[in-house]
Structure 1
Amino acid sequence: MKKIKSIALMLVAILSLSILTGCSSNNESADKAETRVVKTSKGDVEIPANPKRIVDISGSSEELVILGYTPVATANVDSYDTENVPSYMADTFKDTKVVGHSMMDTMDIEAIIEANPDLIIMAPRQEKMYDELKEIAPVVMLEDYSNDWEANLKQVATLFDKEDEAQAWLDDYYAEAKKIGDEIKKAKGDQSYVVALASSGQFMIFSEGGMGTILKDDMGLKQPANMPKQDSITLPTVSIEGLSEIDADNIVVIGMESDKQDLAKNSVFNEIRAVKDGNYVFLNASPFFSQAYNPMGRKLLLEEVKNALM
């Protein structure tokens, strides 16, 4: 009888060990499934497969929203109101804390800690914070694509294996942009367009950046033959006389209210052909200056541009 009991106890022990081993193996598989390793400029980094509390200081918060992640903290702020997110994102980011300005090299580290992130996304310009940030949570340093908003969306999508979602969003965006561009051309004919930022009595011309590329590249609208060349990410600058020499059929000026008032009183500006012909549009710098550099802002601008030009 004792022998039978011993055998029975041994079988129970073996069975229990098998169950525990199986559970352990399943837990390990589950743990592995909950993270993924991504390649970054700082080497391979293990990140949550589906992060819940992302702090983004890279300026990619709109890209994250497109992919289904609303950050708990952001540095996507209005360039003319750096304490707040752009007005068009206010509802989306109503519960998102501002921890800095994405174009700066430092952030509010205490606010980042308080956000309790499980993932931090940063840009190369904030590299001096890298070691400090990686003590808080896994950190991904993105590549700097400057003005290439599409490339940035795609690299953020790669982090989460969501390239297909990003491409579908881009396809929808470009289809809508072309449709609106065709509507504008049908209404106004083969006219030319220039977009300029008013700055201290001069104008920075969006030749290859910002809203200028929405009109030229995405909508397919024509730029004037006399556009200044842009050789870097820095926008070329012209005087009021230089703006007149560009001789666009339509002029869109982005600026502050004081710029609008100054231009209304400027005799040289009011003699520019597009202004005299009533083909001049003024848009507020907040939020329109930086809106075109971000994907959700860019998409919202399509209807804004249509309404302004037609």
Structure 2
Amino acid sequence: MKKWLILLTLTVFTIVIAACGQDQGASSAAGGANGAGGGESEAPVAEELTITHQLGETKVTKNPAKVVVFDFGILDSLDELGVEVAGVPQANIPPYLSKFEDAKYENVGSLKEPDFEKINSIKPDLIIISGRQQEAYDELQKIGPTIYLGVDTSRYMDSFKENMHTLGQIFDKDAEVEQKLADIEESIKALNEKATASGKNALIILANEGKISAYGPGSRFGILHDVFGFEAVDSSIEVSTHGKDISNEYIVEQNPDYLFVVDRGAVVTTGSGESSAQQTVENELVKTTNAYKEGHIVYLNPNYWYLSGGGLLSVSEMVKEVEAAIE
């Protein structure tokens, strides 16, 4: 009888211990899911990056959800990388980015005049600007994390690649950026070899409502010489945003083998994208130059060269345009 009672007691004790063990395991699992206190589950902590740029340092959350972009080169890069944005300046959207005119994208003003109220209503996780918005940096920084990703034309390719790597880091697109940059560098190498082998020099000008400005190495259009390989017909042009005011006589005096023309009026005044500079440029004086005689006056697409530039798509298209012009 005593043995039976002992066995019964041991059996009950074993069952109780097993049950306690199960409860403890369930409690531990719940604690792992809900936190130490077993309360509400905690949202994963977003990774924060510190981005160093020309205007300072900005803390940015990785893979930001709401992005406002003011630079069209950066916009075409994000589009190439499959990254969506929340707001863009729709006033001067180039045709190749016309999808961003859709109402699903907030219109955040113009390139020179951001709509601070609209931007604030978006509550952006990231704002990306370049030179045209530089003066608004402090105000935009009050609204949301703001970074400057304009291209430094004195070191165009290094600056361009740094900007693209920054995008890759922020949006977790490093591999895609590396591949696209490799493709662009390969096409540039082929163009440079072709331009160098031609032995021809070049002059690049900006035509603007009857006025003409020339640009040399290190300038906003200096990529033609510094990267693409064309010898500058005049290497003494001072680097400036607006270029050197020139006359038709200057073009005749320099007598370039190639004359590349960026027509500002086609995108800013007419908005048509069609060149309105031909009558200004191809006058009786300029017709005496080698460039005209050899059919080497080339009208570049101002949407890539003037409005955007510095983007994965725009730089690629700039390379294609210049290569197509070389015989």
TM range (shorter): 0.7 to 0.9
Counterparts of 2:207 and 2:20, CA distance in 1:
85
CA deviation profile, 1:175-205 (whole Å, cap 9, x unmatched): 112223444566xx31112211113544222
Q: What is the CA RMSD across the aligned residues, in angstroms?
A: 3.6
CA deviation profile, 1:212-242 (whole Å, cap 9, x unmatched): 41x3233323222x33333444523322211
**Residue pair 1:55, 1:72 contacting (<8 A) in 2 also:** yes
What is the aligned partner in structure 2 of residue 56 from structure 1? Answer: 69
**Residue pair 2:58, 2:146 contacting (<8 A) in 1 also:** no
Distance 1:179 1:25, change over 3 A: farther
What is the aligned partner in structure 1 of residue 284 from structure 2? Answer: 267
CA deviation profile, 1:3-53 (whole Å, cap 9, x unmatched): 98998887666444322220035965x612x43332456656251x32333
Gaps of 5+ in 2: 1-8, 267-274
What is the aligned partner in structure 2 of residue 18 from structure 1? Answer: 28
Greater C-alpha Rg: 2
Counterparts of 1:161 and 1:120, CA distance in 2:
17
What is the aligned partner in structure 1 of residue 181 from structure 2? Answer: 170
Residues 1:251 and 2:259 aligned together:
yes
**Residue pair 1:184, 1:309 contacting (<8 A) in 2 also:** yes
What is the aligned partner in structure 2 of residue 302 from structure 1? Answer: 319
Counterparts of 2:166 and 2:240, CA distance in 1:
22
Q: Which moved more, 1:14-23 or 1:168-177?
A: 14-23
**Residue pair 1:66, 1:166 contacting (<8 A) in 2 also:** no
Gaps of 5+ in 1: 78-82
Distance 1:268 1:172, change over 3 A: same
Q: Which of 41, 44, 50 lines up with 1:31 in the alignment?
A: 44
What is the aligned partner in structure 1 of residue 215 from structure 2? Answer: 206
Counterparts of 1:46 and 1:253, CA distance in 2:
39
- The amino acid across from 2:28 in the alignment is S
What is the aligned partner in structure 2 of residue 73 from structure 1? Answer: 87
What is the aligned partner in structure 1 of residue 95 from structure 2? Answer: 87
What is the aligned partner in structure 2 of residue 80 from structure 1? Answer: none
Distance 1:162 1:230, change over 3 A: farther
Counterparts of 1:294 and 1:99, CA distance in 2:
20
C-alpha displacement at 1:114, in angstroms? 5.3
Question: Normalization by structure 2: what TM-score?
Answer: 0.71
**Residue pair 1:252, 1:283 contacting (<8 A) in 2 also:** yes
Distance 1:278 1:142, change over 3 A: closer
- The amino acid across from 1:277 in the alignment is E
Count residues with an aligned counterpart.
289
Q: Percent of counterpart pairs with the same letter?
A: 20
